[in-house]
Structure 1
Amino acid sequence: MLQNHVVMNKGLLAAAIITISFSARAQIKRTNPKVQPNVICIYADDLGYGDVSSYSATGVHTPNIDKLAASGIRFTNGHCTSATCTPSRYALMTGKYPWRKKGTGILPGDAALIIPTDKTTLPKLFKQSGYHTAIVGKWHLGLGETVAKNWNGEIKPGPKEVGFDYSFIFPATADRVPTVFLENHQVIALDTKDPIEVNYEHKIGDDPTGKDHPELLKLQSSPGQGHNQTIVNGIGRIGYMSGGKQARWADEELSPTFLAKAEDFIRENQHHPFFLYYALTEPHVPRMPATRFKGKSGLGLRGDAILQLDWAVGEIMNQLKSLGIEKNTLVVFSSDNGPVLDDGYQDDAVEKFKGHAPAGILRGGKYSVLEGGTRIPFIISWPGVIKPQVSPAMVSQVDLLASFAALINHPIPAGDATDSENVLNALLGETQKGRSQLIEQGLNNLAIVKDGWKYITPNNGETYMPLVGIETGNLSEAQLYNLNEDPAEKNNLAAKYPEKVKELATLLDAARQNK
């Protein structure tokens, strides 16, 4: 190999040295346990492939996310595992496909914890390697051992028991009760004289509901979607809640509060390796951003919420730079599933987003087994280590656990994170080849992608969800798409390539059996 280098001119030799140096730096950071990068996972909620301007979005401008993408890798084939939030978050935490475990669908706000406390999780991986770990933001993975729980005392097990040293969360998602903050095991600002009760079966207490008192709503509920139960902050929620009047948050304060808590954790741990899971709430419903963002996008409250999200990302990146830890911090930015416009509230998302395609060129969106359900913005930045680029590698959030285990040299015990693949080289931009096979989960269907071919199993469920205006991807016949040539899934090739259908169906059946 050295003989080949002799004939290189000085320019080519210099380029080769730079390339070798880059690879060496990356290798050193992966193998030297004393050089452990901080890791921040910024997780958006319902943000689509077409909602970020660096992914060719129209109508929405996201300069801070774009800047993050320009500093690292923007993956064009990055995926969450599932087209809804709880399953994707389960996969991120455990390294396992959620469809393998019963009870990992969209959870009510009073659900019990679904993350195992005796297995390797993403935060536990870092914690066991000496990192300080934290989650700030949306949780939606259940709390406690049972549905029935005392919201007025210690609520556990929860984030701490699955590996987070510190947690500042709301229990489920913003459209579900209880609408309170939890710091570690306890509700913030709890008044023992006004105890909290939560029920998803029947009404409790005398709080007005959106169904009975629509005149009290500042954001009307969409018909038939269930967001018309206990009213909090002028917005009807899913589920019933009584008590806790002092502890209830206002939607407008969510993003600034979570940002402040995330910044506090970063500041306090700037001299020690840390892992932060920063789970944003935008642009999930109800969309009620801080006043400074309302009306700013010209695209309704959903557009305003995306601007708020972008601002929060910029604030985190500015803080890393001001603390001088930007070059020792790896940042992942992604979303839990594809986009949806009308998802429970009449907030002009449909009317004012005409001309904007939240999923870009992709079909489907949230709830859908089509690409719009799971192909989402996926960006990784690590200044000085990752070379700025656009990558077509197929990567999934389920792979972060195994990949980060390789990064920080922490082996995963046999039997844990069994669906997580080590794609670290792709995540660091050293190769543009990721995993070759991926199983995608819609609301009630599965698909498998292998080497660019996608097979969707026959399903007799509805093909279109009229309440949310999204194609599900369900058909009574098999579907086969060549995503390399047809990422928009316009041409069903199942009849033309029956052997490919058979091959992929067999692979999917085998994966289902291998639990």
Structure 2
Amino acid sequence: MKKLINRLLLATFVLSVCTAVQGQPTKSKKPNIILIYTDDLGYGDVGCYGTSAIPTPNIDRLAKNGVRFTNAHATSATCTPSRFSLLTGKYAWRKEGTGIAPGDASLIIPVATTTLPGMLQKAGYNTAVIGKWHLGLGDANGADWNGVIKPGPLEIGFNYSFLIPATGDRVPCVFVENHNVVNLDKNDPIKVSYTGPVDANAPTGKKNPELLKMHPSHGHDMTIVNGISRIGYMSGGTAALWKDEDFANILVQKATAYITQQKANPFFLYFSTHDIHVPRVANERFAGKSGFGPRGDVLLQLDWTVGQIEEVLKKNGLLENTLIIFTSDNGQVIDDGYKDDAVEKLGNHKPNGIYRGGKYSAFEAGTRVPFIVTWKGKIQPGKVNTALFSQVDLYASLAALTGGKVEAGQAPDSKNYLPVLLNQTNKPREYLVEQSINSTLSLVIGNWKYIEPSKGPKINKDTNTELGNDPKPQLYNLADDPGETKNLAEVYPERVAEMKLKLDNIKQK
């Protein structure tokens, strides 16, 4: 009897302890993070920004369920430097060799760098990049396309990678998964050159326009793949060559598999779309559906892509624990190398909104891009934030969110603006630096923008983009003149001098 009583008392004690533990709040799981990084998307290309004539219901839903930023910026008006800054927390103009990378460029991020994904890895995250890369691959000799391709994303903080190695309009036109070209036949080796043809007898866009289904408007007249001539020359790899119409489908499939596989663990997915970069070749589901030509069609495709990513999160019960950030690497460009009727069919669509310039430019439309953040149950829906914000700050802000550490010497230009990112405040960044294609720098402080004197053409005649180059300093009041039409440098010389000094100090920092 005594033993029975002791057993009952022990059972009662264990039950009471278990009940007490169950009643205590458990340590919350770290949030998943998905960064949807689009390509060449203008401030006004998206419906929720007010000047789009092309419906984007899925992207608009992100804004409806979260916060839409009206003064958020990429660090550069071109892709490679924006991506470099995003992943390193360091302005690209601080490092040589970070301009628009050729398709055979070596990895431009030093492997000793603790990148944004590397920092998150150390904080307990599984990390992946799926989509456009354009930050180089391989060592100083370049990538071995027929062997093990490293260093690359896996050497700088990613656990998994599935890449468009450079851009859709640059060779090699193959996918790279982790360290290898996908579907490569070793008996058909890939050769890549940016100095001259690797096969003198192979057709090119310049020699054989009759073979093209999309013709170049400037450049883009070298090796032909999938009826489209590209920048650069390649041969071989026939079984591995991509079909542009499949880009969105394949990237969504890879993202879906990754999210599903990692749903029990905190993960960071850098989902870098090809859309809406050239060549603009939509899947048959979207081709001809926008009424605005191929550029409009791939914008519909991009919107579908966003909806698919949200759907897989919903299916796996992850919406409540996933922070989604949607933005672009730079502003819009209409004719960027192919005759795809983008100019002729632009109609009443205003891809740059009320802003001047676009991709490549020192004017606002070069770096002021759509920026939407949503997190179900954590960020109030339907809000607008006017704070000045830079993508370079995602590194430090996400470190603060996840308990990650910004190590000494890493991410020198990134500041913690997590309360802004989560729309808890609209306190702006103290200042913001913008970079144009020729590394002309602009400084924004409050409503004032200073563009340093620069050489170069005022207009890129190929793309018909105002570049903002001027041998004299420029000063604009963005509150009164968001279109940057009135240069006030001669009216406020003291302010010009102050902002020049500030920019010089930032350069030397």
Query: How much does 1:33 deviate?
Result: 7.0
Task: Indicate the residue corresponding to 1:4 in structure 2.
Answer: none
1:208 alignment partner, one of 182, 203, 212: 203
| 1:148–1:401 distance in 2 versus 1, CA, 3 Å | closer
Paired with 2:124 and 2:402, the residues of 1 have a C-alpha distance of 10
CA contact (8 A) 2:289 2:297 kept: yes
Task: Indicate the residue corresponding to 2:319 in structure 1.
Answer: 326
Query: How much does 1:493 deviate?
Result: 1.2
Task: Indicate the residue corresponding to 1:87 in structure 2.
Answer: 81
Paired with 1:147 and 1:34, the residues of 2 have a C-alpha distance of 46
Segments ≥4 residues shifted beyond 6 Å? none
Query: SS of the residue aligned with 1:117?
Result: coil
| TM-score (structure 2 length as normaliser) | 0.93
CA contact (8 A) 2:138 2:144 kept: no
2:270 alignment partner, one of 264, 274, 277: 277
Paired with 2:100 and 2:232, the residues of 1 have a C-alpha distance of 14
Query: How much does 1:245 deviate?
Result: 0.5
Q: 1:171-250 to 2 correspondence within 5 Å?
A: 171-205=165-199, 206-222=201-217, 225-250=218-243
Q: Does residue 63 of the first structure (1) align with residue 63 of the second (2)?
A: no
2:43 alignment partner, one of 33, 46, 49: 49
2:494 alignment partner, one of 487, 495, 499: 499
Query: How much does 1:482 deviate?
Result: 1.2
| 1:38–1:243 distance in 2 versus 1, CA, 3 Å | same
Task: Indicate the residue corresponding to 2:20 in structure 1.
Answer: none
Task: Indicate the residue corresponding to 1:471 in structure 2.
Answer: 466
Q: Does residue 449 of the first structure (1) align with residue 447 of the second (2)?
A: no
Q: How many residues align?
A: 482
Paired with 2:28 and 2:380, the residues of 1 have a C-alpha distance of 22
Q: Does residue 438 of the first structure (1) align with residue 432 of the second (2)?
A: yes
CA contact (8 A) 2:45 2:352 kept: yes
| TM-score (structure 1 length as normaliser) | 0.92
Q: Does residue 314 of the first structure (1) align with residue 307 of the second (2)?
A: yes
Q: Which stretches in structure 2 are left out of the alignment for 5+ residues? A: 1-24
For residues 171-230 of structure 1, the C-alpha deviation after alignment (integer angstroms, 9 at most, x for no partner) is: 1000000000011000000001100010000101243100100110000001xx320000
Query: How much does 1:354 deviate?
Result: 2.8
Q: Does residue 107 of the first structure (1) align with residue 101 of the second (2)?
A: yes
Query: How much does 1:461 deviate?
Result: 1.2
Query: How much does 1:478 deviate?
Result: 1.1
Paired with 1:411 and 1:272, the residues of 2 have a C-alpha distance of 19
Task: Indicate the residue corresponding to 2:135 in structure 1.
Answer: 141
Paired with 1:369 and 1:180, the residues of 2 have a C-alpha distance of 33
Query: How much does 1:489 deviate?
Result: 1.1
For residues 252-302 of structure 1, the C-alpha deviation after alignment (integer angstroms, 9 at most, x for no partner) is: 011100010001000011111000000001110000010110011000000
CA contact (8 A) 2:48 2:60 kept: yes
Report % sequence identity: 55
Q: Which stretches in structure 1 are left out of the alignment for 5+ residues? A: 1-28
CA contact (8 A) 2:143 2:150 kept: no
1:124 alignment partner, one of 99, 118, 126: 118
Paired with 2:435 and 2:77, the residues of 1 have a C-alpha distance of 6
Paired with 1:94 and 1:212, the residues of 2 have a C-alpha distance of 42
| 1:312–1:462 distance in 2 versus 1, CA, 3 Å | same
Q: Does residue 303 of the first structure (1) align with residue 296 of the second (2)?
A: yes
Task: Indicate the residue corresponding to 2:158 in structure 1.
Answer: 164
1:370 alignment partner, one of 363, 371, 377: 363
Query: How much does 1:117 deviate?
Result: 1.5
Paired with 1:153 and 1:354, the residues of 2 have a C-alpha distance of 47
- Larger displacement relative to structure 2 (145-154 or 353-362): 145-154
Task: Indicate the residue corresponding to 1:392 in structure 2.
Answer: 386
Across the aligned residues of Structure 1 and Structure 2, the Cα RMSD in angstroms comes to 1.2
One-letter amino acid of the counterpart of residue 34, structure 2: I
- Larger displacement relative to structure 2 (318-327 or 33-42): 33-42
| 1:113–1:33 distance in 2 versus 1, CA, 3 Å | farther
- Larger displacement relative to structure 2 (481-490 or 425-434): 481-490
CA contact (8 A) 1:33 1:409 kept: no
CA contact (8 A) 1:43 1:278 kept: yes
For residues 278-333 of structure 1, the C-alpha deviation after alignment (integer angstroms, 9 at most, x for no partner) is: 00011100000101100110000000000000000001111111211101000000
Q: Does residue 486 of the first structure (1) align with residue 481 of the second (2)?
A: yes
Task: Indicate the residue corresponding to 1:12 in structure 2.
Answer: none
